[in-house]
Structures are given as structure tokens and as C-alpha cells.
Amino acid sequence: MDYPKFQHHGGADGVTGSCHRYIAGPNHAVLVDCGLFQGQDADHLDSLEQHRIHFDLSAVFALIVTHVHIDHIGRLPYLMAAGFKGPIYCSEPSAKLLPLVIEDALKIGFTRDARLINQFLDTVNQQLQPLPYLQWHTILDDDQRKIRIKLQRAGHILGSAYVEVDQLDKTAGQSHRTVFSGDLGAPYAPLLPAPKSPYKADTLIIESTYGNRIHESRKDRRLKLKAAIEHALKNDGTVIIPAFSIGRTQELLYELEDLIYRGGEAWQKMEIIVDSPLAAKFTQVYRELKPFWDAEAQKRLKAGRHPLSFDNLYTVNSHEEHLQTVDYLAKTGRPAIVLAASGMAAGGRVVNYLKAMLEDERHQVLFVGYQAQGTPGRAIQQYGPTHGWVELDGERRTIRAGVTTIGGYSAHADQNDLVHFVKRMKQWPSTIRLVHGDWDARQALKEKYQALGDSRHHHFNVLLPTND
């Protein structure tokens, strides 16, 4: 078969801006994700250039969304402005979450005009085609080829999916199975079932964010989380957790509810503050999507517990209330846990907390997710332990607060998980394209796949593609 072919318009040689073109034939192509560039991936581009759609859309008849993180769907408004009018396929939970993400992206990057935003969202909702997990869906069937897709749970955030694309060449009587991993979650992530490997793949396009890392166990990360919080309690300080509004915030609330449930008096009095209107909205939708939670979460619900809406949980909405909360916690040193976006401290309300508290050793900054090169989060993570500095809103801040990183809370699979994803297939791919990772991570994972192939006398053609 001459097709499929692949091009990458983002997320190939970096961890943001995911956008992959599946070329089914001379006149037919599908996009898998269309995300924003962030951090170092965007450094060489101005704010408009990094978003603009530079590639030809004439053959693109559909978009498949693996999940609704901004680095996977943030360029959707620009895609539609460039003329894309095809169906947008995603999971059923993603269809409920996606409009919230896009609304926020529009307010930040385009306009705050409610009429224009609602008009755009109406168009998006008309193009959205939610698909159930584990069912084949035909997206093209003509004289030459038939293309079907199937979504499987990826365990990354609620609604996340990896995508199987099955193409039948009717003329040649041959088929080809491509699997796009999207972002794969780590096993034992709160609320989410672990991803299961597909039966087979001819071509696998797989993320490699942590292709050179092994995560801590869930038990270890819970102990670290508990220890970091208790350290701050002793110091009469606040634990600041930069957290993405969707996925990470809800996972942490789930874990914190359990620590409070099992903890003593100090824990029972602990205030958990979600300072993000968007995160509050997502948390509400997460609650509405309880049928998609995993077995452990269902068990807690049956026991009468409320993992995402417990007594100690407070939400900050207005900007005025936000500023008051920052000032109050900075001055009083009242023990509290604050979850605020953005997850890489590159903007959002968390920046005000950091500006107010980073130079005070009573407080703790706790990182529970990937910090991209070039972001303030990466700088705090890297230079905090040596009392270095970080630039926030154009001002240098000395880092005197404690800085802790808990790797096990990553929403991404680690090296072992990525290897097992392939190993557990019944029929292994002949070609593996490593995307969504720094060079070192991709190179390390490539070596692991080649070693796996050698051990079973199977040749993997492992490619490290670049963005086109």
C-alpha cells in the first residue's frame, strides 16, 4: 500500500502543539489533534505565527481530538478560521469538556465579546461528533478506500482516548492499522482506568514525554504529598500547587479527599482552595461524568463519600476575591493548600501566589506535572532548591520557599508503561513514530523499543520525525 502517509504539524520534536496529519490518499487526509505551542516550543515564534495554520487544508475532511488539553486542541479556532468545516470526532466526555476549553482560549487569545464566543461555540457544537469508546465508526467509504476509527481509553484525563485508524485499500485488497496514542496515562491514576493495549498496529505513533523516566509508585507519591503538606503545616505556610484546570486539579482533589478522610484533626481543619473559575467548571463537569470514573472511585461514591465536593473544599471565583485570598494567606501564614492554574506557572492566578509567597521560606511550591523548557515552572523546579531566582511578570524573585516535585502524579505514562503498551499487543507494529517528547526522551525510548524487538527477533523501524 502506498498509503497512509504521515506529516506532523506540531508535537513531533517537542511536547506541545500536537497536530498530526494522516494522509489516506491523494485527496483525503485527517488531522489528529490541533494544539497550541507552549514554552520553549513557541520561543522562536511571535504570538500570531505560533497559532496560524500554515499547511494546506484542502484534503482535510475530519479532525480527531484525543483529549481537550490546550496543547492538543488550542489551535482549533485558527483551524476553523482557515476554513475547516468537517466533523470533529472525540469521546463523549471530551465533547462535554471541549467547549469549556475553547471558550477560555477564545477569551484569552481572541475576544471577550460574549456574542462572538457563543456564535463560535455553536459552530463547534454543530461539528462535534461524540463517539462511544470501543466501537468502530466509518468516516470514509468510497470506491477506493474505507476508513474506520475506534477510540479507546487512554487514562490521561477524563475523556482522553487513543485512536485506532483502520484503512482498507479496496483496489489492492489490503488494510493498514494505525494507532495514535495521544497522551497515555500512567496506571493507577486517580479516577481513570488504566489504558489497555490495542490488539495490533502496523504503524504506531506514540508519545514519549517520559520516554527516559520511571515514575514513583502511587504509594510513594501519596507519602510525598502528605509529607510536603505536613511540612507546610508546621511552618504555618501555604502549599502552592500549580495545576492544570482540567485533569490534574481533579486528580489532586481526589487524593486530598482521601488524605483528609484518613487524617487527624489537623487534616480535618485543612482548607483546600481551588482558585480557578475554569477549574471549578471542569470539576463540576467531572462530577456529572461519574459513569466514566474507575472502579475505585465508584466504590468511594457507594460508601457515601464525595471525592470532588467535600466539606474542606473552597472555590475562589472573582478576581477581587482572588487578590484578597493571596493577600490573606501571604500575611497570616494560615495553613492551606492552593490549587491554581496555570500548571507551568506561565500565567494565570498561580503567578500572583508565587509573587507573594516565593520569597518566604514558610511556604511550599509543589510540582505534580511536567514543566516544559522555558516556563517559569521549570525555572522554579530547577533553581529553587539552590535559592536561585525566577522571572515573574518581568521581575526577578528569589526562591526561598520550599520546592518539591512529585513525579508519580504525572498524567503521562513513563518509560516502562510506554514499552508495555507495545509489548502487550498481540501483533506488534513494524513502524513506530516517536512524538511528543524532548530529543533525549525520544532517543532513550527508541533504544528500549529496539532492545525489545531484538529480544523477540522482531524488527521495529523506529523513527524520530520532525515538524513539517
**pLDDT, tens digit (0-9, with 9 covering 90-100), for 85-119:** 999 999 999 999 999 999 988 887 777 888 999 99
Q: By the 8 A CB rule, do 306 and 286 touch?
A: no
**377 and 415 within one domain:** no
Contacts of 55 (CB under 8 A, 6+ apart): 7, 9, 21, 468
Find out whether the peptide bond into 277 is cis, omega within 30 degrees of 0.
no
Give the 3-state secondary structure of residue 2: coil
Domain boundary among 365, 386, 409: 409
37, 209, 210, 232, 266 from 373: Cα distances, Å: 12, 12, 14, 27, 37
Name the one residue in this structure whose C-alpha cell is 459513569. 291
Q: By the 8 A CB rule, do 294 and 166 touch?
A: no
The sign one gets for the Cα dihedral 82, 98, 14, 448 is: negative
Residue pLDDT, tens place only, 135-158: 999 999 999 999 999 999 999 999
**178 and 139 within one domain:** yes
What is the pLDDT at residue 33? 98
Q: How confident is the model at residue 42 (pLDDT cuts 50, 70, 90)?
A: low
Q: How confident is the model at residue 184 (pLDDT cuts 50, 70, 90)?
A: very high
**437 and 320 within one domain:** no
Q: How confident is the model at residue 45 (pLDDT cuts 50, 70, 90)?
A: low
10, 222, 235, 378 from 406: Cα distances, Å: 28, 9, 20, 14
Q: How far apart are CA 405 and CA 123, in angstroms?
A: 41
Mean pLDDT of 345-371: 92
**pTM metric for this prediction:** 0.90
Mean pLDDT of 18-32: 97
- Length of the chain as a residue count: 468
Q: By the 8 A CB rule, do 377 and 343 touch?
A: yes
Give the dihedral of Cα atoms 116, 120, 122, 126; nearest 10 deg. Answer: 160
Q: Is residue 372 part of a domain?
A: yes
What is the pLDDT at residue 297? 95
What cell does 378 get? 521549570
Domain boundary among 390, 409, 428: 409
Mean pLDDT of 311-327: 94
Q: How far apart are CA 34 and CA 53, in angstroms?
A: 9
Contacts of 281 (CB under 8 A, 6+ apart): 100
The sign one gets for the Cα dihedral 71, 75, 76, 77 is: positive
Query: If 0-12 CB within 10 Å is exposed, 13-18 middle and 19+ buried, where does residue 104 land?
Result: buried
Q: By the 8 A CB rule, do 341 and 278 touch?
A: yes
Paired with 177 in beta bridges are 166
Whether residue 47 is predicted with pLDDT greater than 70 in this model: the reply is no
Query: If 0-12 CB within 10 Å is exposed, 13-18 middle and 19+ buried, where does residue 263 land?
Result: middle
**262 and 348 within one domain:** yes
Q: How confident is the model at residue 49 (pLDDT cuts 50, 70, 90)?
A: low
Q: Is residue 19 part of a domain?
A: yes
CATH number of the domain to which 291 belongs: 3.40.50.10890
- Total structural domains within the chain: 2
Q: Is residue 442 part of a domain?
A: yes
Name the one residue in this structure whose C-alpha cell is 461555540. 121
Q: How confident is the model at residue 44 (pLDDT cuts 50, 70, 90)?
A: low
What is the pLDDT at residue 458? 96
Q: How confident is the model at residue 265 (pLDDT cuts 50, 70, 90)?
A: confident
Q: How far apart are CA 112 and CA 203, in angstroms?
A: 42
What phi and psi, each to the nearest 5 degrees, are found at residue 321?
A: -65, -35
**330 and 403 within one domain:** yes
Q: What is the mean pLDDT of the chain?
A: 92
**95 and 36 within one domain:** yes
Paired with 315 in beta bridges are 274
**What letter does residue 412 receive in the DSSP assignment?**
S
Q: How many CB atoms lie within 10 A of CB 92?
A: 15
Q: How far apart are CA 94 and CA 393, in angstroms?
A: 33
**76 and 202 within one domain:** yes
Q: Is residue 41 part of a domain?
A: yes
Q: Is residue 468 part of a domain?
A: no
Q: How confident is the model at residue 345 (pLDDT cuts 50, 70, 90)?
A: very high
Q: By the 8 A CB rule, do 3 and 23 touch?
A: yes
Q: How confident is the model at residue 43 (pLDDT cuts 50, 70, 90)?
A: low
What is the pLDDT at residue 131? 98
In 173-217, which ranges are continuous DSSP H helix?
A: none
Q: Is residue 14 part of a domain?
A: yes
What is the pLDDT at residue 51? 73
**247 and 393 within one domain:** yes
Q: How confident is the model at residue 315 (pLDDT cuts 50, 70, 90)?
A: very high
**307 and 377 within one domain:** yes
CATH number of the domain to which 146 belongs: 3.60.15.10
**435 and 383 within one domain:** no
Higher pLDDT residue, 269 or 168? 168
Which of 209-223, 312-326, 409-423 has the weakest average pLDDT?
209-223
Taking the alpha carbons at both ends of the chain, their separation in whole angstroms is 23
> What single-letter amino acid sits at 462?
V
Q: How confident is the model at residue 248 (pLDDT cuts 50, 70, 90)?
A: confident
**234 and 178 within one domain:** no
**416 and 405 within one domain:** no
What phi and psi, each to the nearest 5 degrees, are found at residue 289?
A: -100, 30
- Please give the residue range of the domain that contains residue 308: 218-409
Q: How confident is the model at residue 167 (pLDDT cuts 50, 70, 90)?
A: very high
Domain boundary among 409, 438, 455: 409
| DSSP letter string, 318-360 | SHHHHHHHHHHHHHH---EEEEES-TTSSSSTHHHHHHHHTT-
